Amino acid sequence: MSNTQIPYKIYIDESEMPRAWYNLRADMKNKPAPLLDPDTKQPMTAEHLSGVFCDELIAQELDDKNAYYDIPDEIRDFYKMYRPAPLVRAYCLEKKLGTPAKIYYKFEGNNTSGSHKLNSAIAQAYYAKKQGLVGVTTETGAGQWGTALSMACSYFGLDCKVYMVKCSYEQKPHRREVMRTYGASVTPSPSMETEIGRKILSEHPGTVGSLGCAISEAVEKAKATEGYRYVLGSVLNQVMLHQSIIGLETKIALDKYGIKPDVIIGCAGGGSNLGGLIAPFMGEKIRGEADYRIIAVEPESCPSFTRGKYAYDFCDTGMVCPLSKMYTLGSSFMPAPTHAGGLRYHGMNSTLSQLYSDGLMEATTVKQTEVFAAAEEFARVEGILPAPESSHAIKVALDIAKECAKTGEEKTIVFGLTGTGYFDMMSYEKFHNGIMTDYVPADEEIQKSLSKLPTVE
């Protein structure tokens, strides 16, 4: 089919939307390693996890056998309010770059949470409601996940208790107010509401908080409150399962026009967006039905894949969560204060870690300042003002497309545009004013945190 027939935005019909999520683990020859209990170092069972997580979500988390999970009608109805997300052909960008490459991006920003996070938030809220729970707790840093969860809970009439890292609570009042609009209770962390919060506040009275501390408070609150559970927006395999909707829709849209990508690119923090985008394509690759070059892009300041170790580690800096085998910089690694908050995570989803270890995908790093330059270049021709996280993928897509302009190769590039940057304008301001810096962690720094990894036989 000729290019002129491909519209600027491919919207699949509502009737074509996926009816099941895809569980990539079912097709993997080498399965991701199981979660371990940090005390016994034995695999976590559903029973172990049930006081913290919702029952059906635990089943999804532990399942590496079933390839498909039917999406319940209630979730599909909600999806229909903001999905299908468009697969955009970047005609204007191609023209500007003078490249023979064909560039597509799956845009997940057309919803109030501003990102793909809503895809899993609505699923997690649904299963919590179905279990008869009263509410859920979670933590949020910059606020994307907290916003998504607030929207989802509001829809199903669930209480939503968000512990927001105190410095973000004060510096990012906009996100906080979006959450309040959706009826969430937002508490600056550390707080006096939990034992761990009170302990930290008495030891460090002036602390501005951390994500690790907020997780610990949210988990404690969920365990201590009747009818509550804790939910998490990334890293876990259940989240990657829900996010497969991104890749499934992308594939349906591409297939509709007979388009076969050469390269698929996504930014990688905890891995939920990348894992969701690539899921069906990686499935084909594993089953030998197709081949794709798949690239994870991470910030140079937090290079889990590229400079981390594939080992068991805590998922959280507070060391209350289970151990996961993953590429990690060590749970005590403190990422530099870069502006892509969603990518400042020491570890990586365990499924993606296994795939990377098996050589089925690549990873690369980019510098913060070149990421913002790419974001601006993109925004000026494609209109959309991207989130700093998403712009990591844009940077690599632009590099490949520019290379094609030199070589004349007509590569087909697909990347994930996970969200918008409307709540990141103070970061853009730093870039505009030329006062943004880059961070490269020293080898000794990484070695130091890696030396504290838990010992697992």
Q: Which of residues 170 and 429 has its CB atom nearest to a copy of itself in the complex?
A: 429
- Nearest residue to 335 via CA among 216, 212, 429: 212
Q: Which amino acid is at 177?
A: E
Distance between CA atoms of 145 and 113, rounded to whole angstroms? 8
Backbone angles phi, psi at 81, to 5 degrees: -75, -30
CB of 425 to a copy of itself, least distance (A): 4
Q: Which of residues 78 and 163 has its CB atom nearest to a copy of itself in the complex?
A: 78
Residue 39 carries which DSSP code? T
Q: Which amino acid is at 97?
A: L
Q: Characterise 227 by phi-psi region: left (phi > 0), alpha (psi -120 to 50), beta (else).
A: left
Cis peptide leading into residue 190 (ω within 30°): yes
Q: Site map for a copy of itself, 86-115, x if CB under 8 A?
A: --x--xx-----------------xxx-x-
Q: Does 16 bind a copy of itself (CB under 8 A)?
A: no
Judged by CB under 8 A, which of 402, 410, 429, 452 binds a copy of itself? 429
Distance between CA atoms of 199 and 191, rounded to whole angstroms? 10
What residues from 212 to 241 belong to the interface with a copy of itself (CB under 8 A)?
A: none
Q: Which of residues 347 and 421 has its CB atom nearest to a copy of itself in the complex?
A: 421
Residue bearing tokens 């009170």: 198
* Structure tokens given for 22: 């895809």
Q: Which of residues 13 and 444 has its CB atom nearest to a copy of itself in the complex?
A: 13
Q: Does 3 bind a copy of itself (CB under 8 A)?
A: no
Rg for the chain, CA atoms, rounded: 21
Judged by CB under 8 A, which of 94, 217, 382, 389 binds a copy of itself? 382
What residues from 70 to 89 belong to the interface with a copy of itself (CB under 8 A)?
A: 77-78, 80-82, 88
Distance between CA atoms of 89 and 414, rounded to whole angstroms? 9
What residues from 248 to 277 belong to the interface with a copy of itself (CB under 8 A)?
A: none
Judged by CB under 8 A, which of 31, 432, 448, 452 binds a copy of itself? 432
Judged by CB under 8 A, which of 20, 59, 379, 405 binds a copy of itself? 379
Instruction: Count residues near a copy of itself (CB under 8 A).
Output: 48
Q: Does 373 bind a copy of itself (CB under 8 A)?
A: no
Runs of H (alpha helix) within 182-336: 195-203, 211-224, 237-256, 272-286, 304-307
Secondary structure E strands in 129-248: 135-140, 159-165, 185-189, 228-230
CB of 401 to a copy of itself, least distance (A): 17
Q: Which of residues 80 and 204 has its CB atom nearest to a copy of itself in the complex?
A: 80
Crossing angle (nearest 10°) for helices 73-82 and 144-156 = 120
Q: Does 208 bind a copy of itself (CB under 8 A)?
A: no
Q: Which amino acid is at 243?
A: Q
Residues that bind a copy of itself (CB under 8 A): 7-9, 11, 13-15, 77-78, 80-82, 88, 91-92, 110-112, 114, 151, 154-155, 173-175, 177-178, 180-183, 375-376, 379-385, 420, 422-423, 425-426, 428-429, 432
